[in-house]
């Protein structure tokens, strides 16, 4: 009975930790915009890696193309426990970060080298 009461109270307050820290898979986050030439250059490599690693890594994109998409991205970042990351990087399009266990373990911006990402993804999976 006490356990049921505790669980009900806990559920009513929501998750006390962040979603990012609760992830069992690493999370790759991309800050992008339609108008960003660096993002356009990164897109083919990113999409290829997303297909290759999609079953082992969670991929999240924060679109900052305009005010509307930025507001939606900010809300999603907060929901995922990445509000501080988003606030610090929303003007840094073409930024890719990897989070594991709630900690940021990799960041790159304006990097188009596929092997750099493969190495970072493989390290995050260990």
* CA 48 to chain CA centroid, nearest Å: 17
* CA 84 to chain CA centroid, nearest Å: 12
55-114 confidence digits (pLDDT tens): 999 999 999 999 999 999 999 999 999 999 999 999 999 999 999 998 999 999 999 999
Q: How many CB atoms lie within 10 A of CB 91?
A: 11
| pLDDT for the residue 101 | 92
Q: What is the pTM (predicted TM-score) of this model?
A: 0.81
C-alpha–C-alpha distance, residues 89 and 123, integer Å = 23
DSSP-based three-state secondary structure for 32: strand
81: left (phi over 0), alpha (psi -120 to 50) or beta: left
Average pLDDT over residues 16-21: 44
Average pLDDT over residues 14-25: 52
| pLDDT for the residue 24 | 85
Q: Which tokens sit at 118?
A: 């493969």
């Amino acid at each position: 009975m006490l356990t049921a009461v505790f669980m009900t109270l806990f559920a009513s307050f929501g998750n006390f930790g962040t979603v990012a820290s609760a992830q069992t898979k690493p999370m790759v986050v991309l800050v992008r915009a339609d108008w960003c030439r660096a993002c356009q250059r990164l897109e083919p490599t990113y999409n290829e890696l997303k297909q290759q690693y999609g079953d082992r890594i969670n991929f999240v994109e924060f679109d900052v193309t305009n005010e509307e998409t930025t507001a939606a991205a900010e809300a999603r970042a907060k929901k995922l426990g990445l509000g501080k990351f988003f606030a610090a990087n929303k003007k840094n399009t073409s930024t890719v970060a990897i989070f594991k266990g709630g900690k940021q373990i990799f960041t790159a911006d304006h990097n188009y080298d596929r092997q750099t990402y493969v190495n970072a993804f493989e390290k995050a999976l260990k």
